[in-house]
Amino acid sequence: MGVTWSLRAWVSRGLTDAALSAAVQGACDLVVAQMSTWEPGSDLCRFNAAPAGACVEVPPHLMTVVAAAYDLAEETGGAFDPTVGALTDLWGFGPAGPVAAAPDRASRNLAATGWRELRLDRPNGRIFQPGGLRLDLSGIAKGFGVDLAAEALEALGVRDYLLEIGGELRGGGVKGDGQPWWVEIETPPGGELSEPPILIALHGLSVATSGDWRRTWSDGARSYSHTLDPVTRAPVAGPVASVSVLHVSCMQADALCTAVTVLGPAGEAFACERGIAARIVSRGQAGLTEWMSPAFARLLDET
């Protein structure tokens, strides 16, 4: 996944570092083997390369993630779209490598996308390839990897842990001193908020953050973020600088923060209507401003 992971855990004496490491790394390796766009032999790449009309059988974990991505695409009207793989490459954020300049509109329009073109046979674990459609699960697979690794740890009897993979975190239980796992919600660089940093206790919770400072490139005129807007077929360019989401599922937190980022100002209403615990930081002439959904504020009060 191109990231590192870390684990802090309070465990029984019988569990070795090697056993804990194997549990986490095994989950990461499985996600890469099934969902990576960078590994030509992955199950996802096998689907992307399938001919038009093929009904591709995929493993259960990949189907789980694709189905969740499809459902969120439907819920957001396509703001979250798992079929932007061709656009990701076109803008220089995929395995094809960086580009020298922003692609023109004609090139963008030729890149095949469209979550509505996907047909999922969920009971039988098959996905229909309409032709040229390329999945990119980078906005959801890492969060799923956190959940999968946490399940592997819990299967070993680990109940008290703080797990982080590439900036996405999930916490369970408490530390050895009985205190919860306190983490600071990320704030974009290059500005100051009037409010102090937010600390949240990850007790059976996950947190994911999407930010406009991660994985960017510049053509000298402007900076382009890796988060793509499927409507404009270009990197998001609105005022939203970062979105953090709290959820019991890290997969959902990961995907939702991407969706809210793409929705931009409309993301506030989306989060409120659906009870999503979201914090949005926006850039403006006066600097950074912060907005918290009612569900996010309630979780802060509880901790």
pLDDT tens, residue order, the chain (303 aa): 889 999 999 998 889 999 999 999 999 999 999 999 999 999 999 999 999 999 999 999 999 999 999 999 999 999 999 999 999 999 999 998 899 899 999 999 989 899 999 999 999 999 999 999 999 999 999 999 999 999 999 999 999 999 999 999 999 999 989 999 999 998 888 777 867 889 999 999 999 999 988 888 888 778 899 999 999 999 999 899 999 999 999 999 999 999 999 999 999 999 999 999 999 999 888 889 999 999 999 998 876
Cα R_g (the chain), whole angstroms: 19
CB 234 within 8 A of CB 222: no
Two structure tokens written together for 119: 């047909």
From the list 168, 215, 213, the residue with the least C-alpha distance to 188 is 213
Q: Angle at which helices 266-273 and 250-263 pack, to 10 degrees?
A: 140
Q: The pTM is what?
A: 0.95
Which residues sit opposite 216 in a β-bridge? 225
Distance CA 207, CA 72 (A): 18
- Chain centroid, CA 291 distance in Å: 20
Two structure tokens written together for 186: 């990320």
